[in-house]
Amino acid sequence: MTLAVTKAAAPIRERLVKPELLAPAGSLEKLKFAVHYGADAVYIGGQKYGLRSNADNFSIAQMREGVEFAAKYGAKVFVATNIYAHNEDLPGLESYLKDLEDVGIAAIITADPAIIEAAKRAAPGLEIHLSTQQSTMNWQAVQFWKEEGVSRVVLAREASFAEIRDIKRHVDIEIETFIHGAMCSSYSGRCVLSNHFTDRDSNRGGCCQSCRWKYDLFEEGAEQPPISLTGSDDDKFMMSAKDLSMIEAVPGLIESGVDSLKIEGRMKSLHYVATVVNAYRRAIDAYCDDPEHYVLNEDWLEEIHKAANRPLNTGYYFDEPDHEDHIYTPEDKSADYDFAGVVLDYDPVSQIAAIQQRNHFKPGQEAEFFGPDGTLFKQTIGELRDEEGHLLDAARHPLQIVSMKAEFPVKPMDLMRMQKR
């Protein structure tokens, strides 16, 4: 899909407000990096009632630590409680919601009216954000949820720019929209393929990502093996949607009055979260600081592509996706960089950095360092030593701490990546 517009047709700068940048955090470490790299708020999953049951979900103690860390940056933490509950899910719900309130969680993201009512009773200090699982597409539905006590509505991913602007004109309530990440081939949350194929309920946190599987068509009959109608050498059909990326449309998003811009990806890597969050942080700040002279920085686009898992498009914002906006062949892993390490410490006198290894690297390879404060440079890796000072021919052990010279200053929580060969 071609992006033709980056600004709203009718600018409304007299009430231009910087929107919240909301990032995913599938673990406590990812939460800290999301906030450090520029998120105003993060959304996480607890060990109950969320739709990412395979993520490294948070205990109450980890939530407390995450809230305390985020508070140092002026950021908030939201918790997804977005399952559609069955009867057996309800015992213990109110106690869980009260625990969330007690540790300082700012809001829950939920779709089930039973959970909404339980939150109002048991934890009135929690804001209630309506999940995209409700597929909200019009202002009258938004008004309904406002009257039910919801303070923010996360619109369906299928909402267009025109629909978002119309909703904002009619209803005085916070609106959140997805701006980056995976798209659903069905209306978000309404797919039942996972249940049908694997007995894993998408609406209770068990989605098996069946839209990412390979499929083929076969001639009906008893032939063994079955006869493929597409040809044995053809790529197998896939129904997977391309990923959403609105980095080029940040001005229009801000001018539309959307209150929160949401990045998808609680299952994505630390490198993905940090890279994507920082690119959007820079674009949002640049436009809000000087709308009249804003220019899209090509470096932000390059950063997005360094973390991209799939081909990108603009979803439903400008028009309805067509056949060109789906992936029909085995996925092209477009990201050409691997996450290699995290900077733990740096001595400016010796220029030696302590790096925690996250992927194999060795002397002679080219590494790229980047960080939220503008660090961005490439260098050839020189001598590597372990914590005892022994020379290494490679950093090959997970989480191994090694020391190496950094040609320019780096800071703790800066990241190192390697271009794939």
- Convert the pLDDT of each residue in 262-295 to its tens digit: 999 888 999 999 999 999 999 999 999 999 999 9
What's the rounded Cα separation, in Å, for the pair 57 and 305? 27
pLDDT band for 29, please (50, 70, 90 cuts): very high
- Convert the pLDDT of each residue in 308-325 to its tens digit: 888 899 999 999 888 888
As a whole number, mean pLDDT of residues 333-343 equals 83
Which CATH number applies to 337-419?
Answer: 2.40.30.10
CB 263 within 8 Å of CB 181? yes
Q: Where are the CATH 3.20.20.70 domain residues in the chain?
A: 13-187+241-327
Half-sphere exposure (Cβ direction) of 261: Cα atoms closer than 13 Å: 31
421 exposed, middle or buried (CB, 10 Å; 0-12, 13-18, 19+)? exposed
Three state DSSP letters for the chain: CCCCCCCCCCCCHHHCCCCEEEEECCCHHHHHHHHHCCCCEEEEEECCCCCCCCCCCECHHHHHHHHHHHHHCCCEEEEECCCCCCHHHCCCHHHHHHHHHHCCCCEEEECCHHHHHHHHHHCCCCEEEECHHHCCCCHHHHHHHHHCCCCEEECCCCCCHHHHHHHHHHCCCEEEEEEEECCCCCCCCCCCHHHHHHCCCHHHCCCCCHHHCCECCECCCCCCCCCECCCCCCCCECCEECEEECHHHHHHHHHCCCCEEEECCCCCCHHHHHHHHHHHHHHHHHHHHCHHHCCCCHHHHHHHHHHCCCCEECCCCCCCCCHHHEECCCCCCCCCEEEEEEEEEEECCCCEEEEEECCCECCCCEEEEECCCCCEEEEECCCEECCCCCEECCECCCCCEEEEECCCCCCCCCEEEEECC
Per-residue pLDDT at 237: 66
Report whether pLDDT(397) > 90.
yes
Report whether pLDDT(147) > 80.
yes
Name which residue leads in pLDDT, 10 or 141.
141
Q: Where are the CATH 2.40.30.10 domain residues in the chain?
A: 337-419
pLDDT band for 8, please (50, 70, 90 cuts): very low
- Convert the pLDDT of each residue in 81-103 to its tens digit: 988 889 999 999 999 999 999 99
Report whether pLDDT(7) > 90.
no
Q: Indicate the class that CATH gives domain 13-187+241-327.
A: alpha beta
Half-sphere exposure (Cβ direction) of 25: Cα atoms closer than 13 Å: 32
The structure's pTM equals 0.90
Report whether pLDDT(54) > 60.
no
Report whether pLDDT(24) > 60.
yes
Per-residue pLDDT at 5: 41
Half-sphere exposure (Cβ direction) of 276: Cα atoms closer than 13 Å: 30
